Structure 1
Amino acid sequence: MRDFNLVSGNPAPMPPPLPVEDEIIARWGAGAAPLVSICCATYNHVLYLQDALQGFLAQETHFPFEIIIRDDASTDGTVDIAREFAAKYPRIIRTIFERENQYSRGVRPNPAMVPHARGSYIALCEGDDYWIVTDKLEKQVALLNKCANCSMCVAQTVVCKYENNNSVCERILGTEKDYLDFEDIKRTYVHTSTYLIRTDFYKKALDQYAGKIGFSDTALRYILADIGPFVQLKEIVSVYRVTGGGLWTSLERTKQVEWEIELAESFYANFNPKYRTYFSGKLYQLYRLILQSGVYSFNQKGALKNYLRYLHFALKFWAKTIFLKLLSYIK
């Protein structure tokens, strides 16, 4: 176990040293097929990708793993780094290079890699984040092997702000619970760079909801939590690097609210009915936020629709609130 000084304001921990390919494969024994597929989505990550790949390749496991790099038509040299590493680690790294940006066409990066994954488990980590311990995969696979009904294994991460070519620790994300269910996921944020997902569960989620719900990281957490609980490795395993250029952090607040409403509406309409009350309450809060703050600019043509949807969910929210209040008086 590496020792980290993760006090806020301290420099971010770096990934472990980079081994050569023969050294990695020598640990695997006779197994040929990868047990874990590490899926790394990249877009203009030229400053960061080497750290991510170094963290992947430093994993010390007794089982084979593969690394799938999918670049979504970067324009900054990210592809050159991916090619360089693939040439040095040809038995481990596979690459997918899109000629045109697919995210702008509605294609989510992580689900796009699932059909290419050969492992029984899928580990996610985008190209601007990275792993900082060598036993992440080994420990997470062991936990999932002990918990057959769990959909994935998560862990703790340290949030680091990247400015002026330096990363500085800000806070730690995660919880001390061993298992997390849907109720926990509503309150606790677990970062994508820590995910180890059962591939068959991921495919089941895609088969059931693709085209109905957009497969963002948030959506994936909700859907997998409905399929089975998460088991947690209660250790810090990764750095979540906040650059301001991520898919979420680069959006203006109005666009973030628009996206949250779209996602919540899709869950309200298409997800397990037992969670409709939760998403109804969420939509009430989001539409109220728009109306109270006067944020019409992102969708002026939809202002009337927003108001009507707000009334719809407000009635549901207050009807439930009044009913529970009356019930408490009766008791």
Structure 2
Amino acid sequence: MTKITVSVFILTYNQEQFITQTIESVLMQQTDFAYQLVIGEDCSTDSTRQICENFASQYPNNIKLLPALDKNIGLIANYMRTIKECDGKYIAICDGDDYWIDKYKLQKQVDFLESNPDFSIVYTRVRKLFPNGEFKESVANTKGRTTNFDDLIFDNYIPSVTTLFKNIQNNQNQLPKWILKYPYGDWPTYLWTIKESGKIYFLDEVTAVYRVDIGESFKIRKKVSAIVKTDLLITKDILIDLNFAHKQKIVEEALIKRKISLMVRYNREGSYWRALKLFFYNLQYDLQQNAVTKMYFYSLYKSFK
């Protein structure tokens, strides 16, 4: 059996208008190693499943289409079952409504990780595609070429469609079940991957297109406060997860900053009662009382202005 170097996992549900382009963008990859597509199709009600089956029959050595489901299980449950089926040394993500535009994407990223074993994740720029057909490239990276866990815990700056990361999953190191509580799993997966060691590298090239304002995660992203709150709750679970015990100090710092950020966001969105409750909570339990007070009243002022 051919050894798989990269598993590309694709999650898809009711994406008949996009899934062909997604799969073809992966199949166009030119590499000197073997890679597979692992497709998790979540009981679509359109022709998505049939399209995936057609590709799987044409490329049986490249595509691993997971068995059909009796009912829709949702994005994160589908994420967890699909990532478990990835056999490669590395994993790449390409959601069913996104696609790659660089046919050497995987080769470049694998070459880097193979030559730099102290790195565990590599990602690139992304081109955003808006519903009106307009393209816009992501802004310049402000994090630097090399980052690590202590940077990523504060902000998920990695576009999932561009990333390649080490597959560290095994019976003793499976992703934590608490991820199932949340609407997305990429950021917790990256943090899990580098919790012990491993740096992150930014490859300053555009390799993929991300479709904006569509997809399963779009609902939560319509309100910034919903994203901040979800990240805050994820940070709380990381804090109490013993696998991250050696990172307690930096995780606590990230948790405090997210509480302040959520308070500010509530004021900006006009949820003043929620902001006020969080303000008093932060004053009672956090050490950065001056920063909390300053940010609360400043955000309140800006919301009225």
Q: Does structure 2 retain, via aligned residues, the 8 Å contact 1:121–1:198?
A: yes
- Give the alignment partner of residue 103 of structure 1, picking from 56, 74, 78: 74
Larger Rg: 1
Deviates further, 111-120 or 251-260: 251-260
Tell me by how many angstroms 1:190 deviates. Answer: 2.0
Tell me by how many angstroms 1:109 deviates. Answer: 3.3
Name the counterpart of 2:266. Answer: 290
1:8-27 equivalences under 5 Å are none
Aligned length: 280
Name the counterpart of 1:190. Answer: 158
- Cα deviation code 1:111-170 (max 9, x no counterpart): 32222111111111101111101111111111001111212111111111133xxx3212
1:98-247 equivalences under 5 Å are 98-103=69-74, 107-163=76-132, 167-172=133-138, 175=141, 177-185=144-152, 186=154, 189-200=157-168, 202=169, 207=174, 209-211=176-178, 214=182, 216-226=185-195, 227-242=197-212, 244-247=213-216
For residues 139 and 20 of structure 2, the distance between their equivalents in structure 1, rounded to whole angstroms, comes to 23
- Cα deviation code 1:5-24 (max 9, x no counterpart): xxxxxxxxxxxxxxxxxxxx
For residues 220 and 89 of structure 1, the distance between their equivalents in structure 2, rounded to whole angstroms, comes to 28
Which AA in structure 1 matches 2:158? V
In the TM superposition, structure 1's runs of 4+ consecutive aligned residues that sit over 6 Å from their partners are 319-322
1:245-284 equivalences under 5 Å are 245-251=214-220, 252-253=222-223, 255-270=226-241, 271=244, 272-275=247-250, 276-284=252-260
Give 5+ residue unaligned stretches, structure 2. 294-305
For residues 305 and 117 of structure 1, the distance between their equivalents in structure 2, rounded to whole angstroms, comes to 44
Tell me by how many angstroms 1:240 deviates. Answer: 0.7
Which AA in structure 1 matches 2:149? F
- Match of 1:66, SS state, is strand
For residues 44 and 98 of structure 1, the distance between their equivalents in structure 2, rounded to whole angstroms, comes to 14
Name the counterpart of 1:90. Answer: 60
Q: 1:191 to 1:144 in 2, by over 3 A?
A: same
Which AA in structure 2 matches 1:224? T
For residues 109 and 230 of structure 2, the distance between their equivalents in structure 1, rounded to whole angstroms, comes to 32
Give 5+ residue unaligned stretches, structure 1. 1-30, 323-331
- Cα deviation code 1:160-187 (max 9, x no counterpart): 1133xxx321232563843222354345
Tell me by how many angstroms 1:319 deviates. Answer: 6.3
Q: Does structure 1 retain, via aligned residues, the 8 Å contact 2:11–2:79?
A: yes
Q: Does structure 1 retain, via aligned residues, the 8 Å contact 2:125–2:137?
A: no
- Match of 2:138, SS state, is strand
For residues 208 and 19 of structure 2, the distance between their equivalents in structure 1, rounded to whole angstroms, comes to 14
Tell me by how many angstroms 1:93 deviates. Answer: 0.8
Q: 1:52 to 1:206 in 2, by over 3 A?
A: farther
RMSD of aligned residue pairs (Cα, Å): 3.2
For residues 205 and 151 of structure 1, the distance between their equivalents in structure 2, rounded to whole angstroms, comes to 18
TM score, norm. by length of structure 2: 0.79
For residues 139 and 175 of structure 1, the distance between their equivalents in structure 2, rounded to whole angstroms, comes to 19
For residues 61 and 140 of structure 2, the distance between their equivalents in structure 1, rounded to whole angstroms, comes to 34
Q: Percent identity?
A: 23
Q: Does structure 1 retain, via aligned residues, the 8 Å contact 2:15–2:48?
A: yes
Name the counterpart of 1:316. Answer: 287
Q: Does structure 2 retain, via aligned residues, the 8 Å contact 1:287–1:310?
A: no
TM score, norm. by length of structure 1: 0.73
